[in-house]
Amino acid sequence: MSDQNNTFLTSLARAHFEDARRREWFSALRDALRHAPHELLALEEVRNRLQIRGQRHIGLCTVPLDHIIGSEGRYGDFDRHFLPRSDHVRDRWMNVDMANQRYIDLPPVDLYKIGDVYFVRDGNHRVSVARRQGQTDIDANVDELLIDVPIDASLRLDELPIKEEYADFLDWTQLHLVRPQQRIEFSEQGGYLELIRHINAHRYFMGQESGQPVTSTDAIISWYDDVYMPVIAAIRAHDVLRRFPGRTEADLYRWIMEHRWYMLEAADGTDPGPDQAVQHFLVQYGTPNWFSQLGRRIGELLR
């Protein structure tokens, strides 16, 4: 290739990099306004927080680029959209961009899969250039790290402690084995410890009623089927989540069970049941005020 063509490709790659740097600045502002995650996640941080119970090789496959949310070693060089955050990655970034301009086939990137998301083991610059060019997916060699808690592309760094609590909860209860369909997620810390208290109390009352010891597994299954899910069913039937944006079904279960206890005490020990407790909770706390309505409206406009 002539020197003139090389100069042109170099200038074009430099322009592409400068465009990517400008986009990173605007993406940081946009993510801040939307309260969306902007930082790439560090693979080691995720591995330390969650309980990795195994690893398997998946092999070569096509991966959606917007499901790549972290990196093993370059998490400080790029943002969540894999736009470059500093100029020190310019040279390698431009080399990848020029290779694409020359239609040179680049090797697949190497990724780790955890839940529904991916972390770059090798190929951060290739992912960055591909996203800047508007690609939607990329070829990758994938190894999967097996975990029991669900994670997706919306995962934030400050949510990892909650995911860690969830992993500990599943390790203690083994609920994911006896009820694989379970998905109990809180929006704040402390919820899983409260659930363990509920399960222990439920186990105690089961033993009182039966007059014999109750195994931990039987108590966990009974709590999930006969206590937790009836409340969740009532929450869904009355569309309660719509009244509490940003919260989860597990959050509401926790609040409603506390409210149900107060109703039981006020009624001299008569349990109102899940449906009545949910309806009474909505009357007391489910009326949206003008401030929360305004917040939801602003969020819709930003989206």
For the chain, the structural domain boundaries read 3-146, 174-302
What percent of the chain stands above pLDDT 90? 78
The letter for the amino acid at 225 is D
What topology is assigned to 3-146 in CATH?
3.90.1530
Confidence of residue 288 (pLDDT cuts 50, 70, 90): low
Best CA proximity match to 109, nearest among 151, 65, 145: 65
Q: Calculate mean pLDDT across residues 258-268.
A: 88
Confidence of residue 4 (pLDDT cuts 50, 70, 90): low
Find the distance separating the first CA and the last CA of the chain, reported in whole Å.
46
Q: Report whether pLDDT(294) > 80.
A: no
Confidence of residue 290 (pLDDT cuts 50, 70, 90): very low
Alpha helices (runs of H) in the chain, residue ranges in sequence order: 3-34, 43-49, 90-101, 124-132, 160-173, 175-178, 191-210, 216-223, 229-237, 249-266, 273-285, 290-302
Question: What pLDDT, in 10s, does the model give residues 31-65?
Answer: 988 888 999 999 999 999 998 999 999 999 999 99
Q: What is the pLDDT of residue 297?
A: 53
Q: Across the chain, which distance is largest between two alpha carbons, in Å? A: 91
Distance, CA of 182 to CA of 302 (rounded, Å): 33
Q: Report whether pLDDT(300) > 90.
A: no
296 CB-near residues (< 8 Å, 6+ apart): 245
Structure tokens, 207 = 């033993």
Distance, CA of 81 to CA of 66 (rounded, Å): 7
Q: What is the pLDDT of residue 201?
A: 95
293 burial type by CB count under 10 A (0-12 exposed, 13-18 middle, 19+ buried)? exposed
Task: Give the global pTM.
Answer: 0.84
Q: What is the pLDDT of residue 266?
A: 86
Q: Report whether pLDDT(141) > 60.
A: yes
Structure tokens, 281 = 């909770």
